[in-house]
Amino acid sequence: MKDYYRVIIGGEAGYGVMTSGSLLSKLAASSGLHVFDYVEYPSLIRGGHNAYEAVFSRSPISDLVGEVDLLVCFNKDTYDRHKDELGSGAIVMYDPDEFDLEAHNHVLVPVPFRSILKEGNGSFMMKNTVLMGALSAILSADINWMYASLEKQFGKKGKAIVELNKKFVKQGYDYAQKQAGNKAIPLLSSETKDSAQLIMTGNDAFSLGCVIAGCQLYAAYPMTPASSVLATLAAWQEKAGMIVRHSEDEIAVINTALGASFAGVRSAVGTSGGGFALMTESVSLAGITETPLVIFLSQRPGPATGLPTWTEQGDLLFAVHAGHGEFPKIVLAPGDNEEMIALTTRAFDLADVYQTPVIVLSDMLLSEHHSTIARETVTSFANKYKPNRGKLITTADANYLRYGPSEDGISKRLVPGQKGVYFQANSYTHSSDGHTSELSKDRIEQVDKRAAKMSTYIKNDFLLPHMSEDIEKKKTVLVSWGGAKGAVKQAIRLLGTEGEHVGHMHFHHLYPLSEEKIKPLFADGVRYVLVENNSQAQFGQLLRQQTGVHLSERLLKYNGRPIHAEEIIQFIQKS
Amino acid sequence: MSYHKSIKPFTTHVPTWCPGCGDWAINSAIKRSFVNIGYTPSDVCVVFGIGCSGNMNDHLNAYAFHALHGRSIPVALGVKLANHDLPVLVVAGDGDTYGEGGNHLLHASRGNHDITVIIHDNSVYGLTTGQVAPTALHGMRAKSTPTGMIERSISPLALLVSQGATFVAQTFAGYLDHASEMVEAAMRHKGFSVVNVLQPCVTFNRVNTYQYYLEKSYYLGKEHNPKDKQSAMKAALEMDNERYALGIVYEDKDAPVYHEQVPTFDGGALVSQTPKRPIDVLTEEFLA
């Protein structure tokens, strides 16, 4: 069979599409497969069309690729929307109690979810339980995995509930097995696993990054697609020794985090574009008071409320320019879960070292899609990680100057509370001791001091983009940042030997950029294609502004959907 | 006067206030309270808003954060969450707390966070040279309302009492002893405590003058029971009739404060805890 297998589960919102989807992804990951899943859903709780899409693969996978091999239709609408994506010989599972289908080149597996539940006195909401049984049969999974999962999920509700669910799993399993006969796919039959696999979203990875970094306060106001960080960290707060606060608005969120950071604890906030817009005055406050802060900004298509549950990389220039006045700021953008963990922890270090706001950019695709990562990768990173708190001090003498001069622009930052000393963090232009000053001398000294931090950053901590091996030999180089990384990587994988001349340059330290270090990476005679999930080539603009490098060939997508590997291949092959 | 009984350690630069401004008295009341409680400048954190009130920042030594206009309360909550052993005081104005930052005042009240907020209520925006504040009287003519303010004035004490603040007091900058007494009582209160200080702006407010408050204010007597919310609301609402009750309007000493209800603080102040980083436990959740 082929290397990867693509599944869609679709239906009306509110009937368990997402629940079944996450469970199926987990089941596939437990069989040792690589998983990439993505959920499309409208901004409402009931009705509308929800679709879970996943690719299960024997080799690494970072985008949805290929024709659909298995389509589960909770309603007729799902079939109509996705039938053109079906490959020949694809399996279509549906409920014959709801609608009829005629077989074209497909294997039809009718499973009467409704009748099974009715006869067994189950609630309509248990459709996904029957479905998981049926999917286990179709994909040749061990039914005991589902049994164990039910015990974990419903164990606290008592044996009767567990048994009822098990019964429906078994019925779905038996029914589908009979229907599919020898057409069942040997995809999820147990394999030997090299190492334990984790399956998580980018928001989960950010949350783990916060815990690894020793973040002690996270404040947020719910906003898609950043909301699940708030829920995840809130659930962990006791275990992790954190304070997770849902404040009254985003302005309170960022100011609370700044207060906590001033008082000495690592602090972060999370939001999407609209919430970040409310925070911007305080981003500037973080800049002048030199208070460390990590800001998680998960983008969705704007302007204003925009497309709340869809994806875009449309807030890069906003993030870069957010805040009035001139002050140092660092913008990082991970492209996958491993990078999310690494850059999140790094963001806390950079915020502490440079005593300034650091933005971690995500987008709905990265924040909400699940993918697999080896547990060992996460734990070994966590074990090696040592927080760098920069010039944070806990004792100082009476002559302590909070904003004292220093060549690298970074002054010592005292944790408030030490006896015999005190200082002021000041929103106004101040002298080196923190007192308000309107003297030209103080103004220039402090502006220069803060600006020096960025020169120090470029010298010590700016990191070059990830580049494919032998990039100097490539004829075509795809340039990406953030969430577009997966599609570009997958495009190169799909190209196989044809892709030998195609390279990848992936930027993750987005702002500030170093002209001196970046410019030499671009060679004459190479075809550079900028790949961005926005309409204005925002990274292209930033690159040109900061380094003078101008990339004129651009693949831009801004319909709210992620960029896909196949579109990238088409783009580079068309000319 | 011995050193620790002196307000001198708290005093630094000369502030930018007009002669006769009520801010001078509020500043003295705060310093006196600190001395009476036994604080040195290292023992307390003060978060300032923006306005003439916030300009106390250079006239009051402490661990201090001079925040943005309207945002002193959430900064103070953050300080308190990070280190609940540190007493936290907010010094802000009526524009800061009832205008720009109204939402924060409301929600900090219902959270019963253990911080004290001193509100300079002079019914006017002094630092921007004289526009109406939310506490200005209906019909007040000022730079932004040349034909008179159409809105009715906010009812700050009623707002605070109704939203769950557990200590609500009012004082007058003309009565320094009373102001000191109220600030000290607020600082000693466990929970969200607010002192609304009626304070003439001698430059931009020709209505709410010292004379005005001397005539229109009165001390709450023994018949007032600050533990009774109904009586508190009654006293609070007197402001609508330009009758200003001075004293503790409302007090609930038994309400649990925010930080006492947070399990994470069982391990002490957050800043003194070592982050736990339980990665093995947490990755378990994502195990396929």
The mean per-residue pLDDT over the stretch A95-104 comes to 87
Residue A347 predicted with pLDDT over 50: yes
Decide if B77 and A238 are in contact by the 8 Å CB cutoff. no
Please provide the average confidence, as pLDDT, over all residues in chain A.
95
The series of mean pLDDT values per 10 residues for chain B, 288 residues long, is 66 87 96 96 97 93 98 98 98 97 97 98 94 96 95 96 98 98 98 98 95 98 97 96 97 97 96 96 93
Write the DSSP symbol of residue B98: I
Of A239, A282, A423, the CB nearest to B63: A423
Quote the pLDDT of residue B1: 41
> How far apart are the CA of B55 and the nearest CA of chain A, in angstroms?
9
> How far apart are the CA of A32 and the nearest CA of chain B, in angstroms?
9
Q: A127-138 vs A159-180: helix axis angle to the nearest 10?
A: 50
Read out DSSP for B48-68? E-SSTTGGGGGGS-SEEEE--
Residue A194 predicted with pLDDT over 70: no
Quote the pLDDT of residue B2: 44
Decide if A289 and B273 are in contact by the 8 Å CB cutoff. no
Quote the pLDDT of residue A26: 94
Whole domain around residue B207: which residue ranges? 3-284
Quote the pLDDT of residue A1: 57
Exposed e or buried b per residue across B181-209, where buried means at least 16 C-beta atoms within 10 angstroms of its C-beta? bbbbbbbebebbbbbbbbbbbbbbbeebe
Tell me which chain B residue has its CA closest to the CA of residue A382: B279
Decide if B103 and A378 are in contact by the 8 Å CB cutoff. no
Of B43, B55, B75, the CB nearest to A259: B75
d(CA B99, CA A211): 37
* A199 bridge partner residues: A372
Decide if A212 and B77 are in contact by the 8 Å CB cutoff. no
Cβ contacts of A175 within 8 Å, gap of 6 or more: A111, A112, A116, A133, A134, A137
A260-303 tens-digit pLDDT: 999 999 999 999 999 999 999 999 999 999 999 999 999 999 99
Decide if A436 and B55 are in contact by the 8 Å CB cutoff. yes
Label residue A193 by pLDDT band (50, 70, 90).
low
A446-462 tens-digit pLDDT: 999 999 999 999 999 99
A466-574 carries CATH number 3.40.50.920: yes
Furthest CA-CA distance within chain B: 75
Question: Residue A400 is encoded by which pair of tokens?
Answer: 């302590």
Decide if B271 and A211 are in contact by the 8 Å CB cutoff. no
Read out DSSP for A159-215? HHHHHHHHHHHHHHHHHHHHHHGGG--TTSS----SS-EEEEEHHHHHHHHHHHHT-
The mean per-residue pLDDT over the stretch A359-365 comes to 98
Residue A412 predicted with pLDDT over 80: yes
Quote the pLDDT of residue A382: 98
A213-231 tens-digit pLDDT: 999 999 999 999 999 999 9
Question: Residue A236 is encoded by which pair of tokens?
Answer: 């962990």
Question: Residue A69 is encoded by which pair of tokens?
Answer: 């091999």
Cβ contacts of A325 within 8 Å, gap of 6 or more: A284, A287, A288
Q: What's the structural domain count of chain B?
A: 1
> How far apart are the CA of A341 and the nearest CA of chain B, in angstroms?
12
Residues of chain A with CATH 3.40.920.10: 4-183
d(CA B162, CA B166): 10
Residues in chain B closer than 8 A to A214 (CB atoms): 275, 277
Quote the pLDDT of residue B16: 84
Q: Where are the alpha helices (DSSP H) in A46-158?
A: 76-82, 113-119, 127-138, 143-154
CATH architecture for segment(s) A201-384: 3-Layer(aba) Sandwich (3.40)
Of B85, B107, B286, the CB nearest to A199: B286
Residues in chain B closer than 8 A to A383 (CB atoms): 279
Q: Are B173 and B199 in contact (CB under 8 A)?
A: yes
- CATH number of the structural domain spanning residue B179: 3.40.50.970
Q: Return the CA Rg of chain A.
A: 26
Q: Where are the alpha helices (DSSP H) in A214-272?
A: 227-240, 250-262
Residues of chain A with CATH 3.40.50.920: 466-574
Decide if B288 and A30 are in contact by the 8 Å CB cutoff. yes
Lowest mean per-residue pLDDT among A183-197, A298-312, A431-445, B175-189: A183-197
Size of interface A-B (CB pairs under 8 A): 211
Residues of chain A with CATH 3.40.50.970: 201-384
d(CA A213, CA A389): 10
d(CA B286, CA B30): 52
Tell me which chain A residue has its CA closest to the CA of residue B110: A248
> How far apart are the CA of B89 and the nearest CA of chain A, in angstroms?
13
Residues in chain A closer than 8 A to B127 (CB atoms): none
Tell me which chain A residue has its CA closest to the CA of residue B261: A243
Quote the pLDDT of residue B3: 41
Of B41, B74, B280, the CB nearest to A259: B74
Decide if B279 and A378 are in contact by the 8 Å CB cutoff. yes
B139-154 tens-digit pLDDT: 999 999 999 999 999 9
Q: What percent of chain A has pLDDT over 90?
A: 87
d(CA A273, CA A301): 9
Chain centroid offset of residue A372 CA: 13
The mean per-residue pLDDT over the stretch A197-212 comes to 97
Query: ∠ CA(A46), CA(A276), CA(A248), 5° rounding?
Result: 70
Tell me which chain A residue has its CA closest to the CA of residue B86: A417
Question: Residue A377 is encoded by which pair of tokens?
Answer: 């990768």
Quote the pLDDT of residue A357: 98
A390-399 tens-digit pLDDT: 999 999 998 9
Decide if B81 and A436 are in contact by the 8 Å CB cutoff. no
Q: Per the omega criterion (within 30 degrees of 0), is the bond before A357 cis?
A: no
| Predicted ipTM > 0.95 | yes
Query: ∠ CA(B116), CA(B121), CA(B126), 5° rounding?
Result: 120
d(CA A224, CA A30): 29
CATH architecture for segment(s) A4-183: 3-Layer(aba) Sandwich (3.40)
Quote the pLDDT of residue B180: 97
Decide if A382 and B277 are in contact by the 8 Å CB cutoff. yes
Quote the pLDDT of residue B5: 67
